[in-house]
Chains A and B, each alone.
Chain A
Amino acid sequence: MFTRLPAYFKDFGLDVDVRALLVMQRAFQKGLIKTLGDIYNVLKGIIVKDPMHMGPFTKAYYSYFMNIEIGERESLEDAILRSEYFRKWRDDQIDRFGDDAEDETWVHRFLDQAHLTQYDIKEVLDGRDIWDKDSGDVEDENWDALHEEAIEKRLEKMADYSDLSLEELLERMQQVREQQKGRHSGGSHWIGQAGISPYGFGGAAKDGIRVGGHGGGKMARRVLQDEKYFPVDRDAILNDTNVDAALSSLKGVIQESSTEYLDVKQTIQQGLKRGGLFIPELKYETDQQLRVILLIDNGGYSMDPYIRQVQLLFRKMKTRFAHDLETYYFHNTIYDRVYEDAQRRKAISIERVLEKDKAYHVFIIGDAAMASYELSKTSMNTYRALCQHFTKICWLNPELERYWKHTFTIMVIKELVPMFTLTPNGIEKAVVHMNRKLKSANEI
């Protein structure tokens, strides 16, 4: 049953593998999972590895365990309200306790119960302990007794599944899922009666003792309404929201290492000074190299919207890693020169660029779209020369890949310079490509 979970969650863009299941199995054995809220908690710790995952995770969780599908930009309340699962739960509650609340209150109760964790239960139990000890001092005996009884009732209904095996629990869940799907299964034997609900859905807190204290439901609600938690579209052309994602992909071009090695020269020198007592001198070396040449096409209106983003990206990169970054500009395509300033007044010849150390990473950013006569032989030769000299070179195109084949010049340049889209994913591919090249060059 649970075997489908990894694949299911993967469809929501989450990285889940079999190991997650094993960890969950272990959590179950250790008694960490006793309610549905616990499952949410534990799975969250295992699966969510970035605040960006919270949104998709909550969606996947509601869909998998409760069959509640949350639509794009839909609030959790709305999704719950229109779900079969919620309706059955509410009918069941109304049968037992009567209808005494508005929709909103029902949703709150539902969330409180769905996210009820063993910690909450424990808190109530602990609270009762204190109560028991203090009861002598409480003046209003009647009030006290009333509440104690209420808590008793409440706790009885609180499900404790420590005796069930994982398989049994899952089987029950599966049954519930099946029931949700079948139309005429009838709400009456919906699991959740007489305190055997695997979900911790006991009686509603009619008696005024609310449990879901730690606000798992509140969190889930906030997550789904907060744009921050929606995953950044890694396939969208660079924009203000995904520039950080792009930056983290770009970091891959930094070669960084920290090694400790024997400083032979120093060891001999110091050893001679000590009169032949040679003590190895160790030296740490952190090697962090990032040198980038940026060639930006800033001619023509087609590129205007992207230039600011590109500059923002690389400026961030520069301030974060403080390395060598050189920017040159060109118009449409590179002939025999590029420009040092954005106004394209100070020209430097391409030979000067080619004299630079070939360890530079070169990013050419442009849409590579021009009239075919503009892409002359000189220009093509320039690209060839660049690729020959700089092994780590790539072209980032703000045009989406599916449109490339409609532009002749893109197809030509693509053959000369490895081309990727100017998206976080594209940049990541570009970085992988650059690093791979580097490796094979080292092997030779």
Chain B
Amino acid sequence: MADTTFWTGSQHYLCDPALAQSFHIARTLGMPLLIEGEPGTGKTELPIQYARDLGLDLFIYPTGSKSNVDQFVGRFDHVKYLRDSQIEILNAQRSEKGLDASLHTSGRNTENLSDYVIKGPCAQAYESANSVLLIDEIDKAPREFPNDLLYALSHRKLVMPESGDVIEVSEENMPAIIITSNREQELPTAFKGRCIYHYIHFPDADTMQKIVSKHHPKIEDKVVDRAIDIFYHLRNIGLDRAPTTRELLNWLKYIKDTSSEAAIEKIEKLEGLGALVKTQADLEKVQRRVLGDSEDYFRRSTPN
């Protein structure tokens, strides 16, 4: 039976109720869930934590600029096939001359084409009932990729290349499919139409506190409060690349080892700022605006 129970997050992962509901709707309808949102808001974490929490198989397809649908579904390994068939000839020649076979095909048989099919994450997920399939950062893919994907995802049936093997999944065993995107490129309308869409909003301070306490339960509240204050302040001064949840968590990881007084001091001095702010221009801006380094600012802004 497909798992259609309502999942609201685990011990290590705080799932936004709205996201949990969308995820439930998607699973119940057997449609992929497309999650968009700022980087570092936990898009990829959802399927990983969900699979871990419920002990389900997880298959990940990280998308890149060279992605194509063959890698995702399955491809035929022509190279191995050719090698093995050459080996067969070679071995036949050697045995004719009374020599031992020196090369092996490691159990593959050229008569059996299925031996040479390399199954992609999609085929693997379809084969193992009730699994989780993550297609990560689909916006990085070439433009045709999402459209090619449509066919694979909208039919519960895959045909493997060359061997013609059919992999079919029943509606009950349909994997939970999660697709994430950072919106670096617009996805085709037809593709979006076949997904349940959810946009992750940047968490507010209260939620952020809960998220932090899931990751760093040992840090004292007053330290977290101060860090979150500064974090949202940094987000609001209009940096080119505003810090995200992931960066806050990394920053706190750096800070947490000291006692809380020392930690607060560190936070106020913005020590380890490099964990939060990632470009030179932003660093300068933070130094000017937040640390109030006015002298430096004037020196820099005077034209030579």
Contact A248 B185 (CB under 8 A): yes
Please name 13 further chain A to chain B contacts, defined as beta carbons within 8 Å, in addition to the given A44-B22, A45-B198, A51-B36, sorted by A numbering.
A32-B28, A41-B21, A45-B22, A45-B196, A49-B197, A50-B199, A258-B66, A259-B68, A278-B82, A279-B82, A280-B82, A286-B66, A320-B184
In the complex, chain A residues whose CB is within 8 Å of the CB of B83: 277, 279
Chain A contacts of B184 at CB under 8 A?
320
Q: Within B1-35, which residues are at the interface with A (CB < 8 Å)?
A: 4, 6, 17-18, 20-22, 24-26, 28-29, 31
Given the interface pairs A45-B198, A219-B18, A256-B142, the reply to whether A26 lies near B29 with Cβ below 8 Å is yes
Minimal beta-carbon separation of A37 from chain B (angstroms): 10
Q: Please name all residues of chain A whose beta carbon is closer than 8 Å to the beta carbon of B24 when the two chains form the complex.
A: 119
A45 contacts across to B, CB distance below 8 A: 22, 25-26, 196-198
- Of chain A, the residue at the smallest CB distance from B33 is A45
| B185→A23 contact, CB < 8 A | no
Q: Are B68 and A260 in contact, CB atoms less than 8 angstroms apart?
A: yes
B178 to chain A: closest CB distance in Å? 13
Binary contact readout B25-60 vs A (1 if CB under 8 angstroms, 0 otherwise):
110110100001000000000000000000000000
**Which residues of chain B are within 8 angstroms of A27 by Cβ–Cβ distance?**
25, 28-29
Per-position contact with B for A274-290: 1 when CB-CB < 8 Å, else 0? 00011110101010100
B25 x A280 contact (CB < 8 A): no
Q: Which residues of B contact A50 (CB under 8 A)?
A: 199
> Nearest residue in B to A119 (C-beta to C-beta)?
B21
Q: Which residues of chain B are near A215, meaning CB under 8 Å? A: 17
Q: Give the residues from 25 to 54 in chain A that come closer than 8 angstroms, CB to CB, to chain B.
A: 26-27, 30-32, 41-42, 44-46, 48-51, 54
Residues from chain A with a CB closer than 8 A to the CB of B18 are 214, 216, 219
Q: Quick check: is B108 within 8 A (CB to CB) of the other chain?
A: no
Q: Please, how many angstroms separate the alpha-carbon atoms of A114 and B24 in the complex?
A: 20
Shortest distance from the beta carbon of A20 to any chain B beta carbon, whole Å: 8
Contact of A277 with B29 in the complex, beta carbons under 8 Å: no
Q: How large is the interface on B (under 10, 10 to 19, 20 to 34, 35 or more residues)?
A: 35 or more
Question: What separation, in Å, do the CA atoms of A277 and B67 have in the docked complex?
Answer: 29
Contact check, A279 vs B79: say whether CB atoms are below 8 A apart.
Answer: yes
Q: Which residue of B lies closest to A249 (CB)?
A: B186
Q: Decide if B82 touches A48 in the complex (CB within 8 Å).
A: no
- Complex-state Cα separation, A288 to B185, whole angstroms: 14
**Residues of A in contact, count (CB < 8 Å):** 44
The answer, among B20, B26, B78, B192, for a CB contact under 8 Å with A280, is B78
Cα-based distance from A117 to B25 in the complex (angstroms) = 12
A-B contact pairs, 13 of them (CB 8 A): A32-B28, A45-B22, A45-B25, A45-B26, A45-B198, A49-B189, A214-B17, A216-B18, A257-B143, A258-B68, A258-B142, A280-B79, A284-B66
> Complex Cα distance A23/B25, Å?
11
Which A residues are in CB contact (< 8 Å) with B20? 119
User: What are the interface flags for B140-166 relative to A under an 8 Å C-beta threshold, 1 for contact and 0 otherwise?
Assistant: 001111000000000000000000000
A15 at the interface (CB under 8 A from B): yes
| Residue numbers in A under 8 Å from B197 (CB-CB) | 45-46, 48-49
A122: nearest residue on chain B (CB-CB)? B6
Return chain A residues, CB-CB under 8 Å to B36: 51
Chain B's closest residue to A248 (CB) is B186
Once bound together, how far apart are the Cα atoms of A413 and B79, in whole Å? 57
Cross-interface CB contact of B186 among A30, A46, A251, cutoff 8 Å: A251
Determine the distance from Cα of A214 to Cα of B16 in the docked complex, in whole angstroms. 9
Chain A residue with the shortest CB-CB distance to B79: A279
* Interface of chain B residues 73 through 94 with chain A (CB within 8 A): 78-79, 82-83, 86
A19 within 8 A of B: yes
Assess the B193–A32 pair: CB atoms within 8 A. no
Q: Are B17 and A41 in contact (CB under 8 A)?
A: no
Chain B nearest Cβ from A318, distance in angstroms: 15
**Which 4 interchain pairs have the tightest Cβ spacing?**
A45-B196, A49-B192, A258-B142, A214-B17
Bits for A259-298, please: 1 = Cβ < 8 Å to B, else 0.
1100000000000000001111010101010000000000
Query: Chain A residues with Cβ under 8 A from B4's Cβ?
Result: 30
Interface centre among A51, A117, A282, A320 (most CB of B within 10 A): A51
Inter-chain CB contacts under 8 Å: number: 91
By a CB distance below 8 angstroms, the chain B residues around A280 are: 78-79, 82
A96 to chain B, nearest CB (A): 30
Contacts of A122 in B (CB 8 A): 6
Which of B65, B70, B189, B193 has the largest count of A CB atoms less than 10 A from its CB?
Answer: B193
A368 to chain B, nearest CB (A): 30
Is there contact, CB below 8 Å, between A30 and B29? yes
CB distance from A216 to the nearest CB of B (A): 8
Question: What CA separation (Å) do A259 and B67 show in the bound complex?
Answer: 9
Q: Does B65 contact A286, Cβ atoms closer than 8 Å?
A: yes
Once A248-B186, A251-B185 are accepted as A-B contacts, the answer to whether A260 and B70 lie under 8 Å apart by CB is: yes
**Across the interface, which residues of B come within 8 angstroms of A256, CB to CB?**
142-143
Q: How far is the CB of B216 from chain A (nearest CB, A)?
A: 26
Chain A min CB distance to B211 (Å): 17
A42 to B185, alpha carbons, bound, how many Å? Answer: 25
B196 contacts which chain A residues (CB < 8 A)?
A: 45-46
Q: How many Å lie between the Cα of A45 and that of B29 in the bound state?
A: 11
List, in ascending order, chain B residues with CB within 8 A of A279's CB: 79, 82-83
B186 and A23 contacting across the interface, CB-CB below 8 Å: no
- Report yes or no: B68 in contact with A32, Cβ–Cβ below 8 A: no
Roughly how many angstroms separate A216 CA and B28 CA in the complex, as a whole number?
20
Chain A residue numbers with a CB within 8 Å of B186 are 248, 251
Select which of B17, B144, B192, B199 is within 8 A of A119 by beta carbon.
B17
Q: Are B142 and A257 in contact (CB under 8 A)?
A: yes
Most chain B C-beta atoms within 10 Å of own C-beta, residue among A215, A277, A284 = A277
CB pair B65–A258 under 8 Å, yes or no, is: yes
Instruction: Give the distance in Å from the alpha carbon of A19 to the alpha carbon of B198 in the complex.
Output: 18
Contact yes or no, A258 B67, CB < 8 A: yes
| Among A15, A45, A288: residue with most chain B CB under 10 A | A45
Chain B residues with Cβ below 8 Å from A216 are 18
Residue in chain B with minimal CB distance to A285: B66
A residues 1-27 in Cβ contact with B at 8 Å: 15, 17, 19, 23, 26-27
Residue on B with the closest CB to A259?
B68
What's the least CB distance linking B7 to chain A, in Å?
11
Closest to B186 in A: A248
Provide the residues of chain A in CB contact with B78, threshold 8 Å. 280, 282
Q: A286 and B26: CB pair below 8 A?
A: no
Instruction: Return chain B residues, CB-CB under 8 Å to A259.
Output: 68
Contacts of B143 in A (CB 8 A): 254, 256-257
